[in-house]
Structure 1
Amino acid sequence: MSPFFTARRATAAIVTAALLVPLTACGGSDDAKKETSGSAAPKADLTVLAASSLTDVFKKAGAVYENEHPGTKVNFSFAGSQELAAQVREGAPADAVVTADTKTMDGIKPDVGSPTVIAKNRLVIVVGEGNPKKIDNLKDLTDSKLKVVLAASQVPVGRYSEQVLDAQKLHVKPVSQEPNVRAVLSKVELGEADAGLVYKTDAATAPKKVDAVDIPDAQNAVASYPAAPLKMSQHAAAATAFVNWLSTPKAQQILQQAGFQKP
């Protein structure tokens, strides 16, 4: 073979090798993306701070996530959203946070990644089983003979409650103001209150102990649940993968079966 053709073949080999390098790099990038959103998510023990109203559904969702991602453990810490925000600001060791309103999430913006709304919810009037006080609407809650319990105004469900009552120009004097929605529900379950305002999904967790009186959409408030990884997380990729998973069809099915609305 002539020197001319030998030189041409060597040049072609060099060019081909050079072209393959960026293609290989691109493939690595795709693999990295899969790690943060697919079944190849990095293994880790995650701590997720979540709003109280997500207690039951997230326990179920966490079990499904762990089954789909062997080697990963999801630990939840449930509390009122305002308490979760305080924990984040204080640097509590955690990996992700899910609040029951966008206002609380906005308040910790410097500490979180990009939030994504994963679900929505609405309020109902929760009453004792069988509705013994015959409460039919928001106006009934103004009856001074009733023991009504609400969440504190610092809590998302408390703010939503104030919003719907103020919009109807109704004044309700609660016998107590609770730190989270589950505490409101508990008061009614135990018969310590005749009625309260909670999320629809919370009332649904105690069907044998309480009833729910629907509030018309025109008088109601829509609660949005944003989720975000924490910048201080020691497992950033795994935290992001879990937050991304909450928007997948499987996770959305679990949320909607529990009564949450589409984001």
Structure 2
Amino acid sequence: MRRAAAAIMVGLSLALTGCSAGAEPPSDSPDGELTVFAAASLSGAFDQLAEDFEAANPGTDVLPITYDGSAVLATQLLEGASADVFASADGRNMAKVTDAALAGGAAAFATNTLEIAVAPGNPLGVTGLDSLADSELIIVLCTAEVPCGTASETLIEAAGITITPASEEQNVTAVLSKVKSGEADAGLVYRTDIQAAGDEVTGVEIASADAAVNVYPIVSLADTPNPALAAAFVDYVLSPTGQKVLAAFGFGAP
């Protein structure tokens, strides 16, 4: 596995753009269509948030959310893709967007850590990161450019082990899919992915997982044609109502 120099961003400090974790949705209901780019690990939670937001704000339409690795989404925005809101799984890829003046300050809204996904029942007896150094196991990881890959490298390097992955994927969903299908014996994914997968996989906790906490930021983009609607969705994610949804999907508080 390529060893990236960048370490995982822990304790991310982000400037809030007129909103806070305790903010409630605005009293005047916005309307219009909303385009959201979000990290792949947010798929279940953000689908639910979008549905709830539309129900709370008649006249709004959250278009099908674009999910992918945060690095992929940031690159698309830098290359001119149009969106109203961007939710990243880390601050490094969010900074690419804000540093390019495509958005103002971002707000942290959730945290996540890694677990090892294995086949149901853990038939190969994986007990932790050390088990993944076994050359007979087929291991899949995220590529280092995306947040789950950066976090994986941080934990593997801290453990002092060498893992040779069979493949490196562009997002965490692809890693989980290979474990589900039996193409891989194990993969490093977020704890929220393990929860969402139900009985399709078994999760093996990583004792040192807290050494690589991913902090998720969200921002409304500068070129949004409907800034009021974009800000309202960001506020909804940050509100107690939005935070309850995220917690139900296994995300930690920011």
Normalised-by-shorter TM-score class? 0.7 to 0.9
2:38 equivalent to 1:47: no
Distance 1:121 1:217 in 2: 13
Residue by residue, what CA displacement relative to the aligned partner does 1:43-75 show, whole Å, maximum 9, x if unpaired? 010000000000011111110010000001112
The one-letter code matched in structure 1 to 2:28 is A
| Residue aligning to 1:23 | none
Deviation string 1:64-108 (CA, Å, 9 cap, x unpaired) is 010000001112111110111011112212101000001110111
| Alignment-derived partner of residue 257 in structure 1 | 248
Counterpart of 1:248, as a letter, is: S
Q: How far 1:220 moved relative to its partner?
A: 3.9
Give 1:217 shift.
4.2
Contact 2:113 2:209 in 1 (8 A): no
* Counterpart for residue 141 of structure 1: 132
* Change beyond 3 A, Cα 1:203–1:62: same
Q: 1:201 aligns to what?
A: 192
* Structure with the larger helix share: 1
Amino acid at match of 1:216: A
CA distance in 2, matches of 1:99, 1:132: 34
Q: Distance in 2 between matches of 1:83 and 1:250?
A: 29
Q: Which residue of 2 aligns with 1:68?
A: 56
Residue aligned with 2:196, SS:
coil
- Greater Cα shift, 84-93 or 42-51: 84-93
Asked if the contact 2:115–2:209 (Cα under 8 Å) also holds between the matched residues in 1, the reply is no
- Give the match for residue 97 of structure 1: 86
Q: Aligned partners of 2:209, 2:45: CA distance in 1, in Å?
A: 27
User: Quick check: 1:48–1:95 contact (8 Å CA) kept in 2?
Assistant: yes
Q: Conserved in 2, the CA contact under 8 Å of 1:112 and 1:228?
A: yes
Shift of 1:207: 1.5
Q: 1:219 to 1:142 in 2, by over 3 A?
A: farther
Point out the more displaced range, 85-94 or 61-70. 85-94
Q: 1:218 to 1:95 in 2, by over 3 A?
A: closer
Distance change >3 Å, CA 227–CA 128, structure 1 → 2? same
| Per-residue deviation, 1:39 | 3.7
Give the whole-Å Cα distance in 1 for the aligned partners of 2:188 and 2:149.
8
In structure 1, what is the equivalent of residue 68 of structure 2? 79
CA–CA distance in 1 between the matches of 2:131 and 2:144? 21
For residues 176 and 211 of structure 2, the distance between their equivalents in structure 1, rounded to whole angstroms, comes to: 18
- Encode CA deviations 1:96-136: one digit per residue, 9 max, x unaligned: 10000011101111111220011000100110000011000
In 1, are the aligned partners of 2:113 and 2:210 still within 8 Å (CA)?
no
| TM-score of the aligned structures, taking structure 1 as reference length | 0.84
Once residues 240 and 170 of structure 2 are traced to their aligned partners in structure 1, the CA distance between those partners, rounded to angstroms, is: 32
**Structure 1 unaligned residues grouped into runs of 5+:** 1-35
Displacement of 1:206 in angstroms is 1.2
Q: Distance in 2 between matches of 1:218 and 1:179?
A: 21
Structure 2 length-normalised TM: 0.87
**Selected match of 2:151 from 155, 160, 163:** 160
Larger Rg computed on CA atoms: 1
Q: What is the correspondence of 1:18-33 to structure 2 with a 5 Å cutoff?
A: none
Q: How does 1:184-263 map to 2 (within 5 A)?
A: 184-217=175-208, 220-263=211-254
Asked if the contact 2:117–2:188 (Cα under 8 Å) also holds between the matched residues in 1, the reply is yes
Q: Secondary structure at the match of 2:49?
A: helix
Count the aligned residue pairs.
228
Task: Quote how far apart the aligned CAs of 1:233 are.
Answer: 0.7
- 3-state SS of paired residue (2:35): strand
Report if the CA contact (8 A) 1:49-1:78 is conserved.
Answer: yes
The residue matched to 1:246 in structure 2 has which SS?
helix
The superposition leaves residues 28-50 of structure 1 with CA deviations (integer Å, 9 ceiling, x where unpaired) of xxxxxxxx941414201000000
